[in-house]
Copies of this chain bind each other. A is one copy, B any other.
């Protein structure tokens, strides 16, 4: 099938029958912002909404890949299919991924119940807010029971992940000053489950205490007051993973009991719609650049004939 001749219904059907190639193709269409995306999303819509979307975030070095690996194994042991999206923050300059050496979770490479994909987060189309929810939608509609979104906890992505996941796991490690850093980074507000990994190292208990203390100080406002558990793991040895799985189950039940799942998913969909609207408007704006459109107004601003607001009004009229 040539690239210019994509048969969307066939592709979606193949993805739903478990073809990793079809899933990969669909996510590539998302990454490439293909003109076919509209048709793809319409075809996926009736099938989405069944996956438990779990975000996993943390600073570099806390063991995200190892933890993802351990969780994938635990879900597989239950017979659940797992899709993993590893979101790489790309340099705005090189466009390249920082994480060339990331652990690729080789353990699951041959398991047809696991699909693993790295996607770039900082494209020109609005980063996490744009491509990631659509990639999640692909995996969800393709029938994965669990969609695990792993982001490097650097700056904005920690916050953005909240809008993406049903449940957010914040991963920490002892002795990295993570407690204080977490508080600074607003990470306390975004975690539904906190996990101190590498808990066989010195300082693990102190880190757990720090996080618990800070959680107790925060004013979280979820209905029915979900108290985020703070757990310990040694993901490389599989230790503590059962507790994390139990916490994830509890969080899903709590969300269902408090209509929180619907609230979060509606918020996520609203953000996704808004991102698409903005991308469309930017694209229309791009069409107005270069020729007589915006540059013509800009020239009048430079000579003082008009001001930027009046010019913006004129552009808005052209846009819409």
Give the B-binding residues of A (Cβ under 8 A). Answer: 37-38, 41-42, 44-49, 92-93, 133-134, 137, 155-156, 159, 184-186, 262, 265-270, 272-274, 276-278, 280-282, 285, 289, 294-295, 297-299, 301-312, 315-316, 319-320
Contact = CB atoms under 8 A, between A and B. Distances in A.
A294 B273 CA distance: 8
Copies of this chain: 2
B312 A277 contact: yes
Contacts of A277: 285, 312, 315-316, 319
A37 B267 contact: no
Contacts of A92: 155-156, 159
B278 A309 contact: no
B41 A302 contact: no
A144 B133 CA distance: 48
A319 B320 contact: yes
Contacts of A155: 92
Contact of A302 (B184, B185, B269, B295): B269
A42 B309 CA distance: 8
Chain A interface secondary structure, helix, strand, loop or mixed? helix
Contacts of A282: 278
A302 B134 contact: no
18 contacts: A37-B309, A41-B307, A42-B309, A45-B301, A45-B305, A92-B159, A93-B184, A93-B185, A93-B186, A267-B298, A268-B298, A269-B299, A272-B308, A273-B312, A274-B315, A277-B312, A278-B278, A320-B320
A49 B266 contact: no
Contact of A280 (B44, B276, B304, B316): B316
Contacts of A315: 273-274, 277
Contacts of A306: 45
A279 to B, nearest CB: 9
B309 A294 contact: no
B93 A310 contact: no
